[in-house]
Amino acid sequence: MATCPVRFEFHCERAPAKLKYVHNIPRSLVTADAQAAQEDAGYINRFVDTIRPIMKEHEAACRAASNTLCGNCGSPTVTVLQTPMSWLHIVEDPFVAIWANPVCGKGECEIQIWKQVEDMMSVVVREGQGRGASEPSAFMEIMSCK
């Protein structure tokens, strides 16, 4: 299977800069046709299957670079929610941005954080389109790393 290097940028609130790693992923996931990828369940499944172990690999670094208190209620952090947003449609410089948010483990806090991240992602997409960029090729609901 052909692969290509892709940058993974983890956005953690206490990190002085993004945590950046490079991983080889299947070349078939890097495609300029973002719209088709968003509508292809097979593509989305391959994307998830590919990035899940990468996110898990960097979970400890994300926790260390995240607040020790829940971003919603201030209770001690139990888990870090990781939300990936794919920019694999930028074939000359493909990357995946992942937002890491600390939560206490309460369902209502996870929902609130998820809503905040979803709103932020909408802003990122709108700003990118304003600069002539196309939408991210795929993003998924938050993954909880425990």
Question: pLDDT tens digits, residue range 73-110?
Answer: 999 999 899 999 999 999 999 999 999 999 999 999 99
Both tokens of 103, joined, read 């939560």
Pairing label, strands 3-12, 138-139: unpaired
Q: 3-class SS at 74?
A: coil
**Other Cβ atoms closer than 10 A to 92:** 6
In the DSSP assignment, the letter for residue 84 is E
pTM of the predicted model as reported, rounded to 2 decimal places: 0.80
Both tokens of 6, joined, read 């892709």
Question: pLDDT tens digits, residue range 17-69?
Answer: 899 999 999 999 999 987 778 789 999 999 999 999 999 999 999 999 999 99
